[in-house]
Amino acid sequence: MANTLGIIKPDGVKRKLVGNVISRIERDGLILRGVKVLKLSKDQAQKFYAVHEGKPFYNSLVEFMTSGPIVVMVIGGHDSIDRWRNLMGATDPAKARYNTIRREYGTSIEKNVVHGSDSEATAKTEVAFFFNDDEILPKGI
Ligand code: UDP
Ligand code: MG
């Protein structure tokens, strides 16, 4: 029953896909428990993606993620981590299943519109990266 972190990346915000993505979250029965619009600093983006440090795409990814505003979301509901990942689709939009957000709106393996935590441990640290406990709607409301 853990919450997960979702991000609408700069390409998604620029292309006015925020409403569409949130609409899919709601349609799927997932619950929006927190939301913020912000712009990542270089330092924040480097820290958030620290697990990818040293990979060939790291510097470009940091540049992309700081290129404009993003929307960060706490997404809850039963099995939210896997359900949000399934709704997003595979990292590479060309390989993502039909009807997934990345398949429909992603334009490259980098500019793939959305982020989602990949495990309970990362969900916990990624949610805490952006949200204090009192900024997250508790279960049952
Ligand atoms: N990424 C990229 N090139 C790659 C792999 C990943 O630019 O070859 C970017 C892409 O934006 C991706 C992010 O780095 O969403 C994080 O990569 P990860 O492998 O964690 O994919 P995800 O968990 O987002 O599906
Ligand atoms: Mg990942």
Q: How far apart are CA 77 and CA 68, in angstroms?
A: 29
Q: Are 86 and 80 in contact (CB under 8 A)?
A: no
**1: confidence class by pLDDT, cuts 50, 70, 90:** low
Buried b (16+ CB within 10 A) or exposed e, 60-98: ebbebbbbeebbbbbbbbeebbebbbebbbbeebeebee
Instruction: Tell me the average pLDDT across 79-89.
Output: 98
CATH homologous superfamily of 4-131 equals Nucleoside diphosphate kinase-like domain (3.30.70.141)
pLDDT digits (tens, 9 = 90+) for 39-79: 999 999 999 999 999 999 999 999 999 999 999 999 999 99
Kindly give the distance from the C-alpha atom of residue 123 to the centroid of ligand 2, in angstroms, as a whole number.
11
Please indicate whether residue 139 or residue 91 has the higher confidence score (pLDDT): 91
Please indicate whether residue 36 or residue 1 has the higher confidence score (pLDDT): 36
- Ligand 1-lining residues (CB < 6 angstroms): 57, 61, 91, 109-110, 112, 115, 118
Q: How far apart are CA 50 and CA 44, in angstroms?
A: 10
- Closest-CA residue to 17 (of 114, 124, 139, 93): 114
Kindly give the distance from the C-alpha atom of residue 58 to the centroid of ligand 1, in angstroms, as a whole number.
9
What's the length of the chain?
141
Kindly give the distance from the C-alpha atom of residue 32 to the centroid of ligand 1, in angstroms, as a whole number.
23
Instruction: Tell me the average pLDDT across 8-35.
Output: 98
Alpha helices in 40-137 (DSSP H): 42-48, 58-65, 80-88, 101-105, 120-130
Residue 139's pLDDT is what? Answer: 84
Q: Is the pTM of this model over 0.85?
A: yes
Please indicate whether residue 1 or residue 46 has the higher confidence score (pLDDT): 46
Q: Is 4 helix (H, G, I), strand (E, B) or coil?
A: strand
Residues with CB under 5 A from ligand 2 (ion): 118
Residue 113's pLDDT is what? Answer: 99
Q: Is 133 helix (H, G, I), strand (E, B) or coil?
A: helix
Catalytically active residues, by annotation: 115
